A = this chain, B = another copy of it.
């Protein structure tokens, strides 16, 4: 930004800010990585939930995307996205809504890991990927589970078997590119083994889908994989910084806040960004460096040494020095604007209904709508 406070007086605080140049750089980084690896990138829009952000992913065009809710699927389909993976295990009750979107021309694909779901999906004529468990993190079948082929047969018999997918959620718990590369290879092997098991049983398996933000950036070889998924990479956050997937300077999202008071005896500066604005996410608490509810920057986005949001109530944040840091606390009079970098972009963005987008080139600010709900 050229100016310290471009139009901030027109915003109410707390407000969500998005640095367009940083986002563009983050998007280009993973786009190039997918190109290098020879796989399709299918960005996960659960973090962004914004048509404007989606438009930045494919150079202004549409493309294949991943979503976490049917509300997202409907919103993105209405905006022209017609190749969508709904990457949360399907509840049979939701199939009517899925069918409606498919009838409108949306190639919406669901995921599942049980015979009960496979039967419901087969009956509804909805294509599916079988979820594979590559790291014990969440749902999915092991690639050598005999149930995999049984489920595959149910889907195949009804012409709705598209392939397999996996997500290494556990990669978030380890630090560094080498560790993430191991998880990437684990994702690849689990998905490719599962695809082979299906093919060896004479079943088709055209899609082999893997990904998480850490593994997507660290993967060295994705032989046998057809597509890569990741979501938070567009914005990044302190959790990703804490495991070395990005630097603090890559974080495109921040919350603008105003100083509203002081408790000098306790070393506190009170701000109007509490957990309602930041979310209750304390994802860095288990990392090497606990960032509280976020790192404090000045209004221009420059990190203020050793200053974090140490505690939060609903609409109050407490800014203080990091434990062990030497003061003094900088002078931050009532009315001062600050920007807070979030622990977890998905959770913080979800607390807001719009992005206030900062364009470095011309210093102007734009409002992009974001949606929520299910």
Contact = CB atoms under 8 A, between A and B. Distances in A.
A60 B372 CA distance: 31
A88 B277 CA distance: 14
The binding surface of chain A is classed by DSSP as: loop
Which range holds the interface residue count of chain A?
35 or more
Contacts of A179: none
Contacts of A352: 373
Identical chains bound together, number: 2
A13 B138 contact: no
A335 B93 contact: yes
B12 A276 contact: no
Contacts of A333: 116
Interface stretch (A217-225, A234-242, A260-268, A294-302): A260-268
A346 interface: yes
Interface in A71-92: 88-92
B89 A313 contact: no
A173 interface: no
B13 A68 contact: no
A279 interface: yes
A14 interface: yes
A15 interface: yes
Given A89-B316, A117-B260, 18 more contacts: A89-B272, A92-B334, A112-B261, A117-B261, A133-B263, A136-B266, A139-B260, A139-B261, A139-B270, A275-B281, A275-B347, A276-B350, A279-B279, A279-B280, A314-B346, A351-B372, A352-B373, A353-B373
14 contacts: A12-B94, A12-B97, A46-B315, A69-B315, A117-B334, A133-B263, A138-B270, A138-B313, A139-B263, A169-B313, A280-B281, A280-B347, A352-B373, A353-B372
